[in-house]
Amino acid sequence: MGVFEAPSNLTGHEEVVFCQDKASGLRAIIAIYSTALGPALGGTRFYPYASEADAIHDALDLSKGMAYKNALAGLDLGGGKAVIWGDPDTDKSEALLRAYGRFVESLGGRYITACDVGTYVSDMDIVAKESRHVTGRSEENGGAGDSSVLTAFGVYSGMRAAAEHKWGTPSLKGRTVGVAGIGKVGRHLVGHLVEDGATVVATDISERAHDWLKENRPEASFVGSTKELIASDIDVYAPCALGGALNDESVGMLRASVVVGAANNQLAHPGVEKLLAERGILYAPDYLVNSGGVIQVADEIGGFNFARAKRRASHIFDITRDILRTADTEAIPPALAADRIAERRMADCGRLRSIYLAH
């Protein structure tokens, strides 16, 4: 797939940079969707894509998602994302990460990177040896550390707002929540839910995740597959694994009446949001409720303060409540309401750059 011939939902990007360092094996794509609100912030995904077209598609899709996420979160940041094409388990090296850091630096701050699938805080510490435009570094290096802490807190806050909208009370006490994916975010989320008095049913493909749950959250039960989870008697479904969790089949089977989860790009294709609405399932848009992590790492730019970042992430409750109400008032799916608000902020505030400032 050529960048200029990408499907229409993937076009409109400002800049796409292909980076190569043959000696270290680096092959990366940095996609900047928009800098209307500020430098483009978004993580680096290290993934063994089946093809170059898949890598380009992911970079274009994810960078656009970041622009909307950052706009809706009220951050003065645009949206970008990078992908490194390779297997993080076998291809990652200091030289490769530093080569990548030099390409990030070469963009002069138009793109600020962070962690994503396949990259970790320790990797960002290495990338930061070559670039000033890195977040998600370790706390000992002045970074915000593991972003899953506030991602989970934000998802929980969004879930409380959705519960209030659906049932009139934000508490999850007495509700059954199905969490698919007990990874970094899922584990923190299960903690919030159990402490709130919810019954948690979880699933994960990893035996390690199962063991973690048994040992750390014995109150939660475990089922063998996501299919089993969504077909069970749950009130809330929280997709916290990979994208595409909401498709024609899963939405058709779903017994939950609320969906709020951490995974990016949960809607498998355009139109699934309408299917959810038709079935009376309240869906809080993924990029709205999972913005706690980017709020956490964005705080690193001016010197990290966890309390300030958490306060900011707690606003996800209010924004979710507003969007669900707007969706009802305008009789549109919440995903569309969220898109419109993000687009309006990018247009309204981005336009102000046209007022000339002499500096």
Q: Is 316 in the site for ligand NAD (CB under 6 A)?
A: no
* 263 near ligand NAD (CB under 6 A): yes
Which residues 19-38 are close enough to bind ligand NAD by CB under 6 A?
Answer: none
- Does 264 contact ligand NAD by CB under 6 A? yes
Residues near ligand NAD (CB under 6 A), total: 25
Residue 204 makes contact with ligand NAD by CB under 6 A: yes
The reply to whether 81 belongs to the active site is yes
The verdict on 290 binding ligand NAD (CB under 6 A) reads yes
Nearer to ligand NAD, 131 or 296 (CB): 296
Pairing state between β 26-34 and 78-85: antiparallel
Which residues, in sequence order, are CB contacts of 110 under 8 Å at separation 6+?
15, 32, 35, 39, 40, 80
- CB distance 39 to 108 below 8 Å: no
Nearer to ligand NAD, 308 or 353 (CB): 308
Plot region of 265 (φ>0 → left; ψ -120 to 50 → alpha; else → beta): left
Q: Which is nearer to ligand NAD, 263 or 346 (CB)?
A: 263
Residue labelled with tokens 């990366």:
28
Q: Which residues contact 357 (CB under 8 A, 6 or more apart)?
A: none
The closest of 166, 163, 165, 229 to 192, measured between CA atoms, is: 163
Selected range binding ligand NAD among 13-21, 32-40, 48-56, 146-154, rule: CB under 6 A: 146-154
Q: Which residues face 41 on adjacent strands?
A: 79, 112
Q: Which of 22, 64, 69, 81 is the catalytic position?
A: 81
Q: Take residue 18 and report the two structure tokens written for it.
A: 């292909």
- What's the rounded Cα separation, in Å, for the pair 323 and 308? 23
**Chain residues 215-254 in contact with ligand NAD, contact rule CB under 6 A:** 226, 240-242
Q: How many whole angstroms from its chain centre is CA 253?
A: 25
205 binds ligand NAD (CB under 6 A): yes
Least separation in angstroms between residue 225's CB and ligand NAD is 7
Where on the chain is the footprint of ligand NAD (CB under 6 A)?
117, 147-148, 151, 180-186, 203-206, 209, 226, 240-242, 262-264, 290, 293
Task: Give catalytic residues, as residue numbers.
Answer: 81
